[in-house]
Amino acid sequence: MLFSSITYLFYFFAAFMILYFAVPFKLKNAVLLIFSLIFYAWGGVKYALLMVAAIFIGYTFGLLIEKFREKKRISLAFMWLAVTSILAFMLYFKYTNFFIDNFNKLTGSSIDFLQITLPVGISFYTFQTISYVIDVYRGVPAQKNLIDLAAYVSMFPQLIAGPIVRYVDVAAELKERTHSIDKVAEGIRRFVIGFGKKILIADRLSQLGDILRNTDEKSVLLYWVYGISVALYIYFDFSGYSDMAIGLGKMFGFKFLENFNYPYISKSATEFWRRWHMSLGSWFRDYVYIPLGGNRVSKLRHVFNIFVVWFLTGFWHGAAWNFIIWGLFFGVLLLIEKFFTLKYLEKSKVLCHVYTLLAAVLSFVVFNATDMKEAFVYIGGMFGVGDIPLATTEILYHLQSYAVIFLIAIVGATPIVKSTAIKLSTSEKTGKIVNIIEPIFIISVFLVAVSYLVDGSFSPFLYFRF
């Protein structure tokens, strides 16, 4: 089931809200759990059972880790057994055929691929369950209530595509949280903004990308327009989902941490990754990078630690070499900045931004490619490799047709709109006018986006693949 679907908006969510706010607080987590399981089972009951199995593993081993906390070796053994068991699910369903494919290529074997379907959102709930187990080992009290833990892992607002919510960030709210009209209104506002980003911007940019990908009239300008549209599409698609998840959480009394902070205004690749998919970056920092020693080791080991983190970051996104190369690309950039270029880049704001945007666009061309061969063709085309013209009438036509969407996307990827809205709403002269216009704007965005849904002009979230 998709957030951006008529079934979700007008049937599932409406039924959930009525029941959720009708029951007393002690039953709210149970209602949240039941509807989350229904939401996830919509795509296949067997995959919901897989998630339930991960929940039981996390719950059982969490209690065992806490029980034997004073016996470090036993507690550590239980922690590793839980982590490897939960991780095994993701490795099997997500990476088995990748390993078979590469083994066949290396050895000349012809092992058949397994008929495996990737369970939607497995990368997200796997990381959440692992973080819970590790945090319990580090001293966080284990959750005694199975329903509360299951509600945390399966919580449908962020289950499918994040943000990766850590147990420690919502543990108190699972036990006690407040609900109010103001929170619901704020949540609706945030949900609709994300809904609009997805349907009205991301899907239009995805549509343009498909058109450019399938045309026979390739040109240098076409490849650049494609690269920029892909970079903007991925941002609005994923940040739109995060906005919707954060908004839904707010309605239910949860405060999910932000996942994006205008990454395209960054002045370096290092800053870009402090602003992009922040929940994933902080997860790898706290559960991989720091345990490996972080930067408090020799320079060679530090470099190794960074490569491990960025290899895993790329591999987490998908079972294909282009994702691994994408991750390592950023790892190399971060190392170069750290040891050589960052102090020079900081001297020129314009150069910083141009360099960072160029790196981002090139990286997302690799990220969005079907394989590395296609990625090299597209990047080569951006720099005039091959017998292609600088521009054609077709790309000029498409650029003109999508100019408004491009302009909205570029402006929307900066804090300009948000900062202007805050400034106007807090001004004595314009505050009252903004308070009248804002709900009209929110309703208009929702209705226009819904009209696209009715027309069938939408696509699944990109990060459902992960």
Closest to 224 measured CA to CA, from 379, 407, 351, 386: 379
Residue 405's pLDDT is what? 94
Q: What is the pLDDT of residue 465?
A: 55
**Per-residue confidence (pLDDT) for residue 457, from 0 to 100:** 54
Longest dimension (CA), the chain: 74
Encode the chain (466 residues) as per-residue pLDDT tens digits: 666 667 777 788 889 999 999 999 999 999 999 999 988 888 678 888 999 999 999 999 999 999 999 999 999 999 999 999 999 999 999 999 999 999 999 999 989 999 988 888 889 999 999 999 999 999 999 999 999 999 999 988 887 766 899 999 999 999 989 889 999 999 999 999 999 999 999 999 999 999 999 998 899 999 999 999 999 999 999 999 999 999 999 998 999 989 999 999 999 999 999 999 999 999 999 999 999 998 899 999 999 999 999 999 999 998 999 999 999 999 999 999 988 887 777 778 888 999 999 999 999 999 999 999 999 999 999 999 888 999 999 999 999 999 999 999 999 999 999 899 888 888 878 888 888 888 999 999 999 988 887 766 555 555 555 5
Catalytic residue among 179, 277, 302, 317: 317
Predicted local distance difference test score (pLDDT) of residue 409: 95
In terms of Cα–Cα distance, which of 26, 258, 34 is closest to 151?
34
Measure the CA angle with vertex 117, ends 113 and 122; round to 5°. Answer: 125
User: What pLDDT, on a 0 to 100 scale, did the predictor assign at position 386?
Assistant: 82
Here the tokens at position 286 are 């706290």
Q: What is the spatial distance between Cα 125 and Cα 146, in angstroms, rounded to a whole number?
A: 16
Q: What pLDDT sits at residue 226?
A: 96
Nearest Cα residue to 413 out of 466, 361, 465: 361
pLDDT of residue 39: 86
- What does the pLDDT read at residue 454? 75
Concerning whether 353 is annotated as a catalytic residue, the answer is no
